[in-house]
Structure 1
Amino acid sequence: MAQNAWAETALNPLKIVLDAQNPRIEVAGDADQDEIRLKLLAHEDVVKLAIGIVEFGGLMPGERIIVCKENRKYVVVEGNRRVCACQLLLKPELVPEKFKKRFPIASQELKDAIKEIKADIAPDRDAAEPTITKRHTEPGIERWRTTAKMRRASKLLEAGYDLAQIAEKLGARHSVLRASIREYRLLRYVLDLGHRVWSQNELERLTDQTLQTNPYTRFFTLAGVKEKLGLSFDEHDHVTTSLSTDVFDQYMHHIARCFFIPIPPNKKPWANTRTTSEEVFASFALKKDGLHFSGNDFVTGGGGVVTPPSGGGGVVSPSGKPASGSGRTNKPKPGAPKSAKASTFFEKLICTVDDDRLIALTDEITRIQPADFPIASAMLLRALFESALTYQVRKAGKSKELNKKSNGRDVGLQTLISFCANSQNQIFFHKRASDALDAFEKAGLKEHLDFIVHGRWIEAEAAVVETAARLLRPLIAHIVEGQDHDMEEESA
């Protein structure tokens, strides 16, 4: 639809309807406004945004929201966080009890400044989609997290669009969209088990937009997992199974609990990207009477709850028992599976951080080997290394300091390495990170990768690329796997 079909107006935030279809949050389509506000406060930094509005004395210039008219009401399709913050500043009684002490108080002057906010009126949601996509894929507007992107694609599919239409709207590849939709459906499946199996606190954790979903969704790509679960997807990419619903629900709940729900003493989920499918399934016991709670604790098939064994040591499974293979003194039983082979390149690397560049590079570098593609391997390794360091600098909040070092020029890899290796910059807290960067430089491997990237492709040698990978793999894994990686030293 032509852009001139849009209109401009100024609206009272209290008369604008917050969007239940907002991909940032997980709510039912018929969720009321109080529930939506609570979700935005809990998961989308609305308190911080409101404090910023108070400090500035209003909304920043140019911050126009986008609305469309549905059922004779204006619904905000872009700018839900801003509208929510303004609503709560204008009408403090709307602030949920648990946020009242943290939420700022607006002066009358501020209320006068935000009692009407500028809005663009889109003819409908469909017309607004390209603009919304552009805003959230470019700097300046807070980007959608992985779960929000997954949810948005899935909701468009539910609305009747086919994958080709969604791909065009979102500017994404067909294959990437399908994978994203299926990953969301796997997450949505365990969410839909609801209070039958999850406590309220657990449900809040599962709908938190900062939740790391990659370890969970990656599990279903491991060899034998889909077969064990009888898992497949129908023509609309909904989850289906050849198992009975009760058995499948128990498996899915167990897997989700392993990867998402923290257990004592370290308050982290039991499973991570290194947990094997054998370990996850070994800790599962089928309950004949189905899933149920005992208080706030999930009762496992063995009747235990999620508690570590006394004395500490070893990996604890969700049943409270040491996970198979976690004891260091246990000898393998006859006929037990052989230990997995160490990585030659990056075939086991998993990206668990919410960074599109790192996710894409990780996906590609796991598919190749230097022996077969020395040039491509070298280029991908250099790109992954540089992107990982850039991400780490940004995460440490030191991007401005780094840019000053480059005097306004593009930051080169050498500058990036030197900046990260300097302990005074506090980019890493592990000394081994600096050691790895120093070893990489001293070995002259950066120059070798530079030569290949800048045109001397014929000099790409698989053995040299593998050596560079061996030196950098612990550091890269430490960054892209969410820093649960201990930066173990790898044998030469």
Structure 2
Amino acid sequence: MTTVKDKSVPISKLDLDLDNYRLDVSASSQSEALELLMESFGESIVGLARDIHQRGELSPIDQMLVLPVDNRYVVLEGNRRLCALRLLNRPNLAPEKYRKVFERLSKKYTPITRVQAKVIGNLHEAYEWIELKHKGQGQGEGTVTWGPNAKRNFLARSQGKITYIQAIDSTLQKWYSDDADFQEMLRSIRHGDHLTNLERILQDRFVKDQLGIEWSNGYLSFKYSPEDLQPFFARVLSSITGDRGVNQASWSRAWATAGDRKTWFCAQDDVLPESSNRLKEPITIKGEVPDRGERPATDGKSPNRKPSTPKPKKEDSRLDTRGFAPHDRYPLAVRELFNEIRDVDYSTIPNMTLDSLRSLIEKTIKAYAQLQGDRVRGPENQRSGKEGFAQFGHCISWLQEHCKQYPSLKGHLTPISALTTKQTKWPRTADYFNGTNHNDQFMADKTMVLEAWNTFHPVLQDLLNRGPEAPPA
């Protein structure tokens, strides 16, 4: 095969493929090729243009493949991208149906004039690579698509978005850590192809209602104790990991409909918790990414001994910022402060860490308010009649009122309330944060820093990730 070369190519020298395999007919000109693409893929091209507009760049891991022809380049792979770029740069070329969308996007858009492309010298060689990309994974030579587990793991690690079943998995690991057989079944489900089946039965609305489980804003709520729920959880795990008879349908089929799941659940009455044992106050747990742990036993048998005690890990004295991804619409000062604080050893310099954390919370709330079209206001100065500076307490009060307006944010009211009440334990109050730079007698230690972080970081994480996106009503 010939060598494929990387080259920065001007957009003005790129041409759409008139024989684009995405289209049912060939085009006679560039304008017709663009029109045909917009007729067939207009909505997806608009979505791609919005993404390019927001990011200000194309994906660096998916470059165009181009063929040199008469001192220009025909795009063999990446025609939708070229179409989106061309219309962002020249919205007047867009079909009337989409013209207003591209005119609006182009107003606050810095035109991309060049792209990194793969230049190939042979059309037949190009077809081989294009077929490899689009025909499917084959025997592994093509792109292997993500399964449900991979999608969950990626969202958890990249965006801190924990799914319901991941939160359940993590909770079961902690609740029943001393039950070796239970943990072996859980590992088998986690590392096999059965997590979707566990999700199918435990996500069912009827099942959750009967078990007293609620999932809201990243928090699990249980209305029965771990002891009351263990027999049912054990039954579910053993059912999924056990052998299915020759004439028995797979669990994906056996639990395919709500009626199927309800019938199966009601037949497990011997392991269901007694309704009289419902707790007066539910157990609330923040959803966490489950520890993937070791793989299950290869012989298919559960070990008869308890797992050995793991060696203690070296303490990482940095704040856990996994899942944080500050939106690029936040001011540079906020993003830089976050980048600095994530690398600080809070056990060595707790006072400075706490002071930086206070600044990060205050700056984030102020910036978030502005991204929502509002701003945090300070008290009025009675003598001058001018508005005073918005301080930490004003930011917390603004955020509290803001979160009350949106169901998706009401889960933040508990940690926010902890900062505003005088009855809360000292290290979690707003006074504690203010003491870092107003009280010359105040001293922090690493335990206090970590407790303050654990109290407020879910709120901070959500605001930093959310950016200008308006909270859903």
TM-score w.r.t. the length of structure 1 is 0.39
Flag the structure with larger Rg: 2
TM-score w.r.t. the length of structure 2 is 0.40
User: Taking CA–CA contacts closer than 8 Å with sequence separation of 6 or more, which of the two structures ends up with the larger relative contact order?
Assistant: 2
